[in-house]
Structure 1
């Protein structure tokens, strides 16, 4: 009997070359996934998709609704991507759902497309399915396979240029083209994103709401302060709550459970924080919240993530860098990272152990965060 984990291992890279016709063609042979009971909320953007999706899922669950949340990537185990009513769906449940889809039909699907179809299967009977896009907007299997009642756009900045376009404007348009007939644009750092969103909404005849900093309520600020969340989580929760209200609900923010996602400015020891920031936008968010001290940066990066630009942003808070060695096909060669650190005049060495009297910030990619948490059994 084929197990889901073995099947995924055969797929290799998570994001295979995108063919917009492939996923819909496969979906044609899974007709029961084209007629879902659940209402779908689609989340697209560069940073914050996981947090916005989970905040919205927690708000909906607080109202007693049956809620599924599909997010990506995972840190430790791929079932972290499948959250149902406050828990991760078990590997055994995912195996059963996978077999019900018929693995032969999924043979041509990419790694991420397999998980997208699996999410549709697992969450099809929910009241709400909160579905996070993978890396793109219009170029994403979630976009080509679902019919959302609402699209949420988180902060949009430069990332995945090799897939989405070299300029911010091109990336924004690619993501915003995933807009459905109702959409909410979260708080943005770049005015051109707002301009493009309004253009796309007009062309698609979309009912678009645009948030700004005034939409962060005092209750949201107090909730984030109580839980020691960074400022960017205020923006993420504001978008989630605005969506919650748009769906016709009112919620109790002070009694909202804590965010149950690892690697989001997560304090894992008294002197160690882990964040999955992997682009310049994420680095700026870190700088905004860790600007009062110097940290040893436990770091590595995928070669396509512009580590030089990221380290330039973080340099004011870096005491030194300790390179977290990873065996991953996308990781930048160690000698290239060392050359960048020399150019930036940042002292460095290879990471080996944690010292009690030093402060550490672990970041650079989901792979770095996940392997660090795994290594220290967190």
Structure 2
């Protein structure tokens, strides 16, 4: 049996050698070795390009407030692998994580012994989630897809309570396709025959058409969540507030402007769950939304100076981040720290966001696909005159803190989720 350190090494090595392999064959073989425990869980399945994690966090908080023992699985890990596995908001313990991964590894060994493919690290992590939530006797599990939907390892579940589709835009084109239609079709692959689906109302007619075609083919009931339901949107006392006809005033501690549409998506999902017999009192809905937290999505790691982290890593997320900044942060100076992956739409992101910056620092994420910070700086200088590349994330954090104090500025670190952990660690060290 592997110890805690060996489990981490096993996952890291599998991640380096396995890559991304779409399809469910290996996942089905692995879960068969683990007793197909996923079939004994009540699951809410969430897919989309942006907003998946936030919707999962909000739904989990609401269900927990309603008295249900709630599991939540999200990816990728931002600060620690264990954060991906939560029951009623608590991370899996190191001992439980070590034990459950060992059980999954044994399943992998049996799959290989029978001539099957070694599961990828994401398939292993997902199998561990199903096994953990089953062992913890979760009454409901909120499950985030890793990438896409149709061929994602999480899509092994057969009868979700509801399939939720958040905003859909261009991302992961290498695997999902080069058009919105292709990407929407892949993500809508989580909708099951005879099931129920909730989708954030897409602004693009072609995406709506795809979603409706898929649901009609699957004989699934589709309902839309419309952002226009949220009225009187404002930022007060560190909260994002809005009024909704069915729920009254909603207060969100997750303050990115884009969280309004995510909350609306949750409101419609709760409505569908209630219609299916799940008891979710209004008080639990309002309190759950108000208490939901999701680190790395316009979340603060420091108040003086205000230091924000956001995982915006594609064009659509950059547009939403710009709207949030314009809502309440353009009266002062904003210092950026940016690190991105080479296969992301960084040029489009820079054009959208750099006009709002006072100063820009670039870094190289510690990731196999991390874009060299110097290359990013050269691109950024086409949109901004004051750009500095820092060799280390720690240098960028120290320089930004010093400048923010001098200029009374806000700091925003955004781009790849993969380097936000390093930002936070350096913040803790510096403070």
Question: Aligning the two structures, in what range does the TM-score lie when normalised by the shorter sequence?
Answer: over 0.9
CA distance in 2, matches of 1:106, 1:68: 27
CA distance in 2, matches of 1:109, 1:259: 33
Match of 2:243 in 1: 218
CA distance in 2, matches of 1:368, 1:334: 12
Q: Which runs of 5+ in 1 are unaligned?
A: none
CA distances 1:284-327 after superposition (whole Å, capped 9, x unpaired): 11110112244111001000111101111112212221012333
Aligned residue among 217, 236, 240 for 2:262: 236
CA distance in 2, matches of 1:312, 1:15: 31
* Residues 27-42 of structure 1 mapped to structure 2, 5 A cutoff: 27-36=31-40, 38-42=41-45
CA distance in 2, matches of 1:29, 1:255: 40
Match of 2:424 in 1: 373
CA distance in 2, matches of 1:167, 1:346: 34
CA distance in 2, matches of 1:30, 1:254: 38
Q: CA deviation at 1:231?
A: 2.4
Question: Quick check: 1:297–1:320 contact (8 Å CA) kept in 2?
Answer: yes
Question: Quick check: 1:244–1:250 contact (8 Å CA) kept in 2?
Answer: no
CA distance in 2, matches of 1:150, 1:254: 20
Q: Structure 1 residues 207-216 or 69-78, which shifts more?
A: 207-216
Specify whether residues 121 and 360 from structure 1 end up closer, same or farther in structure 2 by C-alpha distance, changes over 3 A only.
same
Specify whether residues 5 and 194 from structure 1 end up closer, same or farther in structure 2 by C-alpha distance, changes over 3 A only.
same
- Alignment of 1:206 with 2:209, yes or no, is no
Give SS of 1:47's match.
Answer: coil
- Alignment of 1:250 with 2:285, yes or no, is no
CA distances 1:33-73 after superposition (whole Å, capped 9, x unpaired): 2541x211100001111111111111111111111000011
Give SS of 1:224's match.
Answer: strand
Aligned residue among 122, 133, 145 for 2:132: 122
- Alignment of 1:141 with 2:153, yes or no, is yes
Aligned residue among 344, 358, 361 for 1:322: 361
Which structure carries more relative contact order (alpha carbon 8 Å, separation 6+)? 1
Q: CA deviation at 1:100?
A: 3.2
CA distance in 1, matches of 2:189, 2:89: 31
Q: CA deviation at 1:106?
A: 6.7
CA distance in 1, matches of 2:271, 2:337: 40
Aligned residue among 301, 312, 323 for 1:288: 323
- Alignment of 1:85 with 2:98, yes or no, is no
CA distance in 2, matches of 1:119, 1:228: 25
- Alignment of 1:112 with 2:112, yes or no, is no
CA distance in 2, matches of 1:232, 1:100: 39
Give SS of 2:297's match.
Answer: coil
CA distance in 2, matches of 1:251, 1:83: 24
Q: CA deviation at 1:145?
A: 4.5
CA distance in 2, matches of 1:41, 1:62: 16
CA distance in 1, matches of 2:259, 2:19: 27
* Residues 351-362 of structure 1 mapped to structure 2, 5 A cutoff: 351=390, 352=395, 353=398, 354-355=401-402, 356=405, 357-362=408-413
Match of 1:188 in 2: 202
Under a length normalisation based on structure 2, what TM-score does the superposition of the two structures give?
Answer: 0.82
Specify whether residues 326 and 106 from structure 1 end up closer, same or farther in structure 2 by C-alpha distance, changes over 3 A only.
farther
Specify whether residues 105 and 186 from structure 1 end up closer, same or farther in structure 2 by C-alpha distance, changes over 3 A only.
farther
Aligned residue among 58, 62, 80 for 2:65: 62
Match of 2:314 in 1: 279
Question: Quick check: 1:138–1:144 contact (8 Å CA) kept in 2?
Answer: no
Q: Structure 1 residues 116-125 or 183-192, which shifts more?
A: 183-192
Question: Quick check: 1:76–1:374 contact (8 Å CA) kept in 2?
Answer: no
Structure number with greater Rg is 2
CA distance in 2, matches of 1:35, 1:213: 33
CA distance in 1, matches of 2:197, 2:69: 22
CA distances 1:54-105 after superposition (whole Å, capped 9, x unpaired): 1111111111111100001111110100110121111211112223332524
Match of 1:48 in 2: 51
Aligned residue among 155, 163, 182 for 2:167: 155
CA distance in 2, matches of 1:138, 1:119: 19
Specify whether residues 106 and 362 from structure 1 end up closer, same or farther in structure 2 by C-alpha distance, changes over 3 A only.
farther
Q: CA deviation at 1:224?
A: 3.4
Give SS of 1:139's match.
Answer: coil
